[in-house]
A and B are shown apart, each in its own frame.
Chain A
Amino acid sequence: MAWIRSKPFIWFILPGFLLYSLFSVYPIFSAIQISLTRWDGIGKKTFVGFGNYGELFSNPELFRQLTNALGHSATIFALNALVVLPAQLYLAYLIYGKIRGHRFFQAMIFSPQFIATPVIVFMGTLVFDGNIGVFNKLLETVGLGGWTRPWMGLPELGIYIVWLLVAWSGIGVGMIFFLGAMKMISGEIIEAALLDGASYWGRFFRIVLPQIKTTILNMLILTYIFAMTLFDYSFILGGASGGINRSVDVMALFFYRISFGDNSAVGGTTNVNAMGMGTTIACVMFVIVFAVALVQVALTYRRAED
């Protein structure tokens, strides 16, 4: 008793430790363990070693779904990294420079964060739908009636529609992170640049960007993790099957479909290896995320030693 009394911190840490261990840490190890078995979630578990992994990469149907989903996730990441991230930097710099009305713009660009994903997809429908969409109506109005399409239902456009919705709703958070980082830059550096006569955009490229390098790298990693674990948009647009010809399928949706089935998850799926193969896909997904996160840690360490 005396030993416990002298260590009051134990009582502070214990409740959180238990909850976090049970629902955040234990499931990770459990998932790895389940991925080594053949199991439908109800019946008997059979240990198969790396059999599930082998099957995922050798079964043509599964492998096709995997590469398709992975390709889509990668597309989202590439577009986010090449288009959204620079746009976030640009917008953050404008607001940092206190452009007239910057408070209003900041709130306006951030606001879609508070719109639930199904609503965002629905707003996309209101704009791009073949029958009730504003976009087609606009095309007709300006005399481009020949260009009207059922935009939301075109398989070849599917993943770009997903990206468009993701970009519109998510651009604000990154912008705010960059803005926060820019505000941390010491005034002296900016002052010195001003005295040297650096122009507005010259300062952006020569001073501001190098100063917030670390934040940009972190944001890039977050963007990557986000793209690889994206689920909501694809599920809402295309259901569990991932849309027409799986045109909006992504990694997390592929995982969901195998684990919880095409019908809603009541624990009973027709797939005899739902839990085994599902956790296998989850583990592969995790490796894809983790490998890149490790690179980041390595880079950060190297910089810390410099």
Chain B
Amino acid sequence: MRLRPKRTPVSAAILWIYSLLTLLLLCYMTYQSLRPKKELLSATFGMPKHFGFGNFRKLFAEAGFFTYLLNSALILFGSLAIVVLLSTMVAYGIGKFNFRFKGGLLLYFLIGLMFPVQLGIVPIFLLIRDMHLLNSQWAVILVLASGLSMPVFLLTTFFARLPHDLYESAKIDGAGEWTTFLRVMFPLASPVTFSVCIIMSMQIWNQFFVPLIFLQSESRKTIPLMIMKFTTNVLYNMDLALVGSVMATVPLLILFFFFSGRVIEGVAAGGVKG
């Protein structure tokens, strides 16, 4: 019994062309990033004469790549830590305990899915201004970490299905509420937490709008904002735009290809429920 035709030449060709196009683009960008600026502008398609890591040195030494990387990492891990901890706690509270306004509370956490971030950004801006957090990474972390709707939804579904015996037996063993949560429940949720981490990381790492609004000084900005700085004046900063793009992209993609199966599973798990 055959599940699919032996030959699907057209489909195979389409898939190959699409995949190779992406790969070619990345290779082309990497190759160009190894050429000095003068050569790039005078002979973009000429045969390479000087190959080297000069542009990379310039990116790290003069353009302060590490600062941007550090800022991006701080915002990513800061928001992620808050989201994971708080959403697991909320989901556990709603999913495992019985109280009167349970359904209403879950709905309250879900309405966030309906609102584009732009709708509230002016009041958030004013709020952050009054808290004297403008131009601080904390502003971005707080705003991004408050997007609890999707994680709460996924995790509540998980906790609601969890057999109640686990909770009871932890109680009998004399564990307090917090011990039960941290030692038993939090680890149990790890497959769902993993999904949440993957989906949120992708959102936060590529987040452009929120950092743009709140971060003004160059020393606080994130990698996407750095790339934009180089590309707005592309002919002047061609070399930095190239190496910046390569540094922001290639390591991450290599990492993704190693774990692609797990990552894609995580995304799919979030999507089927969502």
The interface of chain A, by Cβ under 8 A from chain B, is 7-13, 15-17, 19-20, 22-28, 30-31, 34, 41, 91, 94, 97-101, 103-119, 121-123, 125-127, 129, 131-132, 134, 137, 168, 173, 176-177, 179-181, 183-184, 194, 200, 215, 218, 225, 228-229, 231-232, 235-236, 239, 252, 255-256, 259-260, 264-267, 275, 278-279, 282-283, 285-286, 289-290, 293
Contact in complex: A116, B249 (CB < 8 Å): yes
Interface size on B, residues (CB 8 A): 97
Residues of B within 8 A of A (CB): 1, 3-5, 8, 11-12, 15, 18-19, 22-23, 25, 28-29, 32, 40-41, 44-45, 82, 86-87, 89-90, 92-94, 96-97, 99, 105, 108-109, 111-112, 114-127, 129, 134, 142-143, 145-149, 152, 177, 181, 202, 205-206, 208-209, 212-213, 216, 223-225, 227-228, 231-232, 234-235, 238, 241, 245, 248-249, 252-253, 256-257, 260-261, 264, 267-269, 271-272, 274
Q: Quick one: which of A23, A113, A289 contacts B127, CB cutoff 8 A? A: A23
- Nearest-neighbour CB distance to chain A for B45, whole angstroms, equals 5
Closest to A290 in B: B114
* A176 with B271: CB separation less than 8 A: yes
Q: How close is A260's CB to chain B, nearest CB, in angstroms?
A: 7
Are the C-beta atoms of A265 and B213 separated by less than 8 Å? yes
Contact between B252 and A22 (Cβ–Cβ < 8 Å)?
no
B56 to chain A, nearest CB (A): 16
CA distance A279 to B119 in the complex (A): 7
| B114:A176 contact, CB within 8 angstroms | no
The reply to whether B124 and A27 form a contact with Cβ atoms under 8 Å apart is yes
Residue pair B120, A30 in contact (C-beta under 8 Å)? yes
CB contact between B119 and one of A28, A168, A173, A180 (< 8 Å): that residue: A28
CB nearest neighbor in A for B152: A16
Given A94-B15, A252-B116, A285-B116; 19 other pairs, CB 8 A cutoff: A17-B90, A23-B127, A27-B121, A98-B4, A109-B15, A110-B264, A114-B206, A116-B205, A119-B224, A122-B227, A126-B28, A132-B44, A176-B264, A177-B268, A180-B268, A231-B118, A231-B209, A283-B119, A285-B118
Alpha-carbon separation in the docked complex, A298 to B116 (Å): 20
B129 nearest CB across to chain A (Å): 6
Instruction: Give the chain B neighbours of A118 by CB distance below 8 A.
Output: 208, 224-225, 227-228, 231, 245
**Chain A residues, Cβ within 8 Å of B260:** 103, 106-107, 110
Q: Are B25 and A31 in contact (CB under 8 A)?
A: no
Complex interface: chain B residues within 8 A of A9 (CB): 92-94, 96-97, 99
Complexed CA–CA distance, A103 and B235 (Å): 38
B108: which A residues are within 8 A, CB to CB?
25
- Kindly state the separation between the CA atoms of A265 and B139 in the bound complex, as whole angstroms: 15
CB-based nearest B residue for A265: B213
Residues on the B chain within 8 Å of A107, using CB = 256-257, 260, 264
Whether B22 contacts A108 by the Cβ 8 Å rule is yes
Q: Which residues of B contact A111 (CB under 8 A)?
A: 22, 253, 256-257
A40 to B40: give the CA distance in the assembly, Å: 46
- Check B148–A108 contact: CB distance below 8 A: no
Across-interface contacts of A231 in B (CB, < 8 A): 118, 208-209
- B1, B86, B134, B202: the one contacting A19 at CB < 8 Å is B86
CB closest chain-B residue, reference A122? B231
- With CB as the reference atom, state the residue of chain B lying closest to A17: B90
Task: Give chain B's interface secondary structure class.
Answer: helix
* Interface of chain A, main secondary structure: helix
* Contact, CB under 8 Å: B134 / A13: no
CA gap between A41 and B118 in the complex, in Å? 16
Residues on B with C-beta less than 8 A from A22 are: 127, 146
Contact between chains at A115 and B249 (CB < 8 Å): yes
CA distance A128 to B115 in the complex (A): 35
Contacting residues, chain B, for A103 (C-beta < 8 A): 260-261
Q: Is the CB of B148 within 8 A of A99?
A: no
Which residue among A19, A27, A104, A264 has the maximum number of chain B CB atoms within 10 Å of its CB?
Answer: A27
- Contact for B234 among A113, A125, A194, CB less than 8 A: A125
Q: Once bound together, how far apart are the Cα atoms of A98 and B147, in whole Å?
A: 36
